[in-house]
Structure 1
């Protein structure tokens, strides 16, 4: 049996028990490590796990044809990821990864129309869904944990403060463009707490409606406006540009266009801050299950793929920070909240959707905890003298804006 042979090669640490569709139970043991078990209930799921496991495991879990036994889906994935990262291999996955690398430019081709459809796939869901596992401000991106003991709300407030300090909002009424503004939390914070005038742009109808409503409720419509707009259409220079958790949807075919747009959107003394997911182990491809069910057209790039595009846009990298475990900690909070509100989420969606999101959140946390994913924040300027010589001003601004 090919899948049996693949698991024999893969499991080098821990103990995996697998129950096959015919009732056969097999044990796969390596050195010391975690324990997990799963049941494969159909031959269809077994074929998928044999020839395209990166896609089939998630699909099988969603369909109830692959079930963890005596453990959570997180524990099962953790065992498999541990062995993958320690050099275990599934022969079919090697072949599939080469195919994904070969076609990734096509998969990440995101012209404006396709970008709108991709955004709608994930963000134009039931509006209440995200409120059931995100923080109160609906920050759907990596939080900032200075000590690791912060609540999710505290860490998301700290993230916004951290980014605002890097934008150097040192005088009132600076004009800010927020690319990929989500539900408006960053834009509203910059206007309310930092005195900026912000335009947020998005491709999500759901997010646009919520952001506009929030601006009305906050009494900030004179300082914040939200528009449905592709970033490539922006043509008005502003003082500051910020983009949080949007660059992952750009696609490698469009990196040069993105940063040339950033340059064109900045006044001569302007500053930009881009916050995105990256990978520490060099260029790769998006997991096929994630690309199919969660983020079509998405890709988290290595910095070696990003910096050349910045250089070609003739922008200065004035600061670069890598946040390592911050997103793993963020997603751990989301997973706990999702589990705590699972019944409410199931009433809005269905059981299959809940299993899809559980698989997504578990896999995402492990990608940051074990598989080399991270977040990067790059500060950009057009002019070499647009910012102070030392970065002390960031820390000073961050401390000055922190709660007493």
Structure 2
């Protein structure tokens, strides 16, 4: 029995998987399950099975990107979902390992890339966020919120869920007019502009993406609030001043574990004595781990999604008090479903911007991330911090009351 046969036989237990080899032979794996869509794939050349089996996390993606793995029934979302549902995190079943040599190499790459000094941080950000501006318009909401949305129900549309996310975060910041707010990793400016509009605060947004900076400044000018909502191209480590509130949405994933304590020490230094901080980040359930090889190589070099224990432990030396924690368990999977649908609908436009290979890479990225939130060990954490234990009301009622009043 080949390495791939052993791998596939171990992997596919639930749902139906058909693999058509290069010589036309069809092999069937798994058992029918009405909740799981059947998938059929074809290997274009004889070398694909061994190639994938040596390093499944990376090589399956590359075979799909290069057109060596073709999906004939279903799509890449169905394929990745079928793989992931056979190894749900809650069940503790590991389905994708690869050879020892590739495992060691992937772990070494992850460790090296986690050292995000300032120059590397800027190049890592540019790799992903300085892509063609049109790409993000094609699959994000109108406000370009490129982070987990907040769904109040399963049928809520993307724009509404992203608006609700901003209100959900604003309520946790406990804002008052005239306060000074720092937005670390401000993206295209949507959160900063919303906080100013909803609560009458002054906001400084910082980013390492030159393309995002241009858009954010343009949006502030168009809204007539450039005097109150400002954006700068600066690393958080180089920033000086004091802020009543700090918000960081979808940026902590790029900090790197060796810099966690530096990040929280700097945030404490920037926060006023009675300040409040809200950290919104992708995280991992359970113990610390590593970033998969595909994501490091093609999507987020230097990226890492932390365990809750890593975040809290890193903030303790800075004497940052954890005042509230919320785990969004399914919200990012729901967000990614909508991003994936929009990406597929915009296929021709994305291929025109780049090429077929890029489109396949992007759909694999979205499908893989979606499945990790639905079946794997990923979630989203919202962690509220204070410097002074007396800063906020002693119950959480203020969050709910404020969120209901905030504009969308």
TM-score by length of 1: 0.96
Q: Which residue of 1 aligns with 2:130?
A: 124
Per-residue CA shift, 1:144-190, capped at 9, x if unaligned?
11223321111111100111111110x21100110000000000111
CA–CA distance in 2 between the matches of 1:69 and 1:271?
Answer: 52
Instruction: Determine helix, strand or coil for the equivalent of 1:39.
Output: strand
Q: Which residue of 2 aligns with 1:258?
A: 263
Comparing 24-33 with 125-134, which one deviates more in the overlay?
24-33
Contact 1:53/1:93 (<8 A) preserved: no
Q: Which residue of 2 aligns with 1:317?
A: 322
Q: Which residue of 2 aligns with 1:282?
A: 287
CA–CA distance in 1 between the matches of 2:104 and 2:396?
Answer: 42
Aligned length: 402
CA–CA distance in 1 between the matches of 2:240 and 2:407?
Answer: 34
Contact 1:201/1:228 (<8 A) preserved: yes
Q: Which residue of 2 aligns with 1:10?
A: 11
* 1:8-47 superposed matches below 5 A: 8-30=9-31, 32=33, 33-47=36-50
Unaligned runs of 5+ in 1: none
CA–CA distance in 1 between the matches of 2:287 and 2:375?
Answer: 15
Unaligned runs of 5+ in 2: none
CA–CA distance in 1 between the matches of 2:363 and 2:200?
Answer: 39
* 1:138-149 superposed matches below 5 A: 138-149=144-155
1:133 and 2:136 are equivalent in the alignment: no
| Residue of 160, 168, 171 corresponding to 2:174 | 168
What is the Cα-based RMSD across aligned positions, in Å?
A: 1.6
Contact 1:123/1:204 (<8 A) preserved: yes
Contact 1:54/1:93 (<8 A) preserved: no
| Residue of 171, 175, 182 corresponding to 1:177 | 182
* 1:89-108 superposed matches below 5 A: 89-90=95-96, 92=98, 96-97=102-103, 100-101=106-107, 104-108=110-114
TM-score by length of 2: 0.95
Contact 1:139/1:185 (<8 A) preserved: yes
CA–CA distance in 1 between the matches of 2:99 and 2:328?
Answer: 29
Cα distance, 1:352–1:224 mapped onto 2, change above 3 Å: same
Q: Which residue of 1 aligns with 2:57?
A: 54
1:395 and 2:400 are equivalent in the alignment: yes
Contact 1:62/1:352 (<8 A) preserved: yes
Contact 2:52/2:59 (<8 A) preserved: yes
Q: CA deviation at 1:93?
A: 5.9
CA–CA distance in 2 between the matches of 1:284 and 1:97?
Answer: 13
Contact 1:260/1:313 (<8 A) preserved: yes
Q: CA deviation at 1:51?
A: 0.5
Per-residue CA shift, 1:201-228, capped at 9, x if unaligned?
0000110000001011010101011100
| Residue of 221, 227, 236 corresponding to 1:216 | 221
CA–CA distance in 2 between the matches of 1:373 and 1:235?
Answer: 33
Instruction: Determine helix, strand or coil for the equivalent of 2:57.
Output: helix
Per-residue CA shift, 1:26-47, capped at 9, x if unaligned?
1113464542111121344333
Q: CA deviation at 1:346?
A: 1.5
Q: Which residue of 1 aligns with 2:247?
A: 242
Q: CA deviation at 1:289?
A: 0.5
Q: Which residue of 2 aligns with 1:150?
A: 156
Contact 2:242/2:271 (<8 A) preserved: yes
Q: CA deviation at 1:69?
A: 1.4
Instruction: Determine helix, strand or coil for the equivalent of 2:38.
Output: strand
Q: CA deviation at 1:368?
A: 0.7
Instruction: Determine helix, strand or coil for the equivalent of 1:267.
Output: strand
| Residue of 270, 273, 276 corresponding to 1:268 | 273
Q: CA deviation at 1:345?
A: 1.6
Q: CA deviation at 1:127?
A: 0.6
| Residue of 67, 71, 75 corresponding to 1:68 | 71
Q: CA deviation at 1:89?
A: 3.1
